[in-house]
């Protein structure tokens, strides 16, 4: 990196500020451009040419090519990665979801279509429109799942996509994206499907997946992950089938139930959050979001939606005369 920076300057010198930015692992836009221009003169500019790597460094290289579209960013992430802090957010969320599911599965002796069990819907974690005054339910529903198939799908996707994203972009950005998808999911259901409960972490999962897929499409030429077209098609097919299954369970449940089944709108709102907020986060690798005008536009839009949803939940149900099914 230092050699590339020297070769990019006309005088062949590095100023003090550029040296500080290099040693402190911080890169300004001018510093990034210098590295991008200077790397053309490096004899070995492709990270895949690195040999003699251990298992962990090979995995880091795989993550770099899986997530980042620019060779300069890949090399920078590969050489400065120290696994500190470790990617624990997605792992902890997945473990808690599995533990909660197993506890209810053992207690109810039911591992599929758990929402048809009245005791399941009595959980203080499920979002139910009759309990919308309990604010934590707008977040805690992500730990509950319809059944083993929904849990398996969400856990697999968020581990395969969320852990590499968290390794590259950090716990703060990825947790923000995931929780924004979760919150947007429950709030969207409370506005568009006012009688339906919500369970499952699909809002956060779809925020991660849609952000990653949108980033791959926007940087198609620069992405070097193998079989990217086939993998994208498979991801879209899986996500679409999951949405279709959720729609079917909402409007044509296979068994009679005492109330409406969980809504599918959390999937769609999570995807919208991923394409809007998540795409900007993933495209701004090691760049300050606070300095970008588009970031503040997205934050302002999300806050506006949040305020509207709060007033909607306070006043709209009574004004519209919505008949909410009695809470379990």
**Which residues are identified as catalytic?**
202, 267
Distance of CA 139 to the CA centre of its chain: 15
- The total number of residues shown for the chain amounts to 328
Q: Is the peptide bond before 85 cis (omega within 30 degrees of 0)?
A: yes
CA dihedral sign, ordered 137, 140, 141, 146: negative
What is the rounded distance in angstroms from the CA atom of residue 65 to the CA atom of residue 72? 11
- Give me 239's structure tokens: 């996500």
Q: For the purposes of burial, counting CB atoms within 10 Å of the CB of 84, is it exposed (0-12), middle (13-18) or buried (19 or more)?
A: exposed
Are 208 and 231 contacting, i.e. CB atoms less than 8 angstroms apart?
no
Are 216 and 279 contacting, i.e. CB atoms less than 8 angstroms apart?
no
Among candidate residues 279, 281, 275, 273, the one with its CA nearest the CA of residue 302: 273
CA dihedral 132, 137, 142, 145 (to 10 degrees): -70
What is the rounded distance in angstroms from the CA atom of residue 188 to the CA atom of residue 249? 18
Rg (CA), the chain: 23
């Amino acid at each position: 990196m230092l050699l590339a920076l020297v070769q990019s300057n006309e005088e062949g010198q590095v100023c003090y500020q550029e040296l500080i930015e290099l040693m402190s692992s911080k890169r300004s836009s001018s510093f990034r451009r210098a590295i991008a221009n200077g790397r053309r003169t490096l004899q070995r500019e492709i990270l895949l040419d690195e040999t003699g790597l251990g298992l962990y460094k090979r995995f880091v290289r795989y993550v770099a090519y899986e997530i980042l579209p620019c060779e300069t960013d890949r090399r920078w992430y590969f050489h400065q990665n120290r696994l500190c802090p470790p990617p624990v957010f997605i792992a902890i969320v997945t473990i808690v979801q599995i533990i909660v599911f197993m506890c209810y599965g053992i207690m109810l002796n039911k591992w599929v279509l758990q929402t048809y069990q009245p005791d399941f819907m009595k959980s203080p974690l499920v979002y139910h429109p009759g309990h919308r005054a309990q604010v934590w339910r707008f977040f805690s529903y992500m730990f509950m799942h319809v059944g083993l198939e929904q849990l398996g799908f969400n856990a697999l996707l968020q581990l395969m996509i969320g852990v590499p994203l968290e390794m590259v972009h950090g716990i703060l950005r990825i947790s923000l994206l995931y929780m924004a998808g979760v919150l947007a999911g429950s709030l969207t259901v409370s506005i568009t499907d006012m009688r339906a409960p919500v369970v499952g972490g699909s809002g956060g999962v779809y925020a991660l997946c849609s952000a990653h897929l949108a980033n791959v499409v926007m940087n198609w030429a620069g992405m070097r992950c193998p079989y990217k077209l086939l993998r994208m098609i498979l991801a879209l097919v899986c996500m679409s089938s999951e949405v279709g299954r959720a729609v079917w369970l909402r409007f044509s449940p296979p068994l009679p139930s005492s109330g409406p089944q969980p809504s599918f709108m959390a999937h769609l709102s999570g995807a919208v959050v991923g394409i809007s907020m998540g795409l900007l986060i993933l495209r701004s690798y090691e760049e300050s979001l606070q300095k970008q005008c588009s970031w503040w536009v997205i934050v302002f839009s999300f806050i506006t939606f949040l305020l509207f949803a709060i007033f909607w939940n306070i006043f709209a149900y009574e004004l519209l005369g919505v008949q909410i099914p009695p809470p379990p």
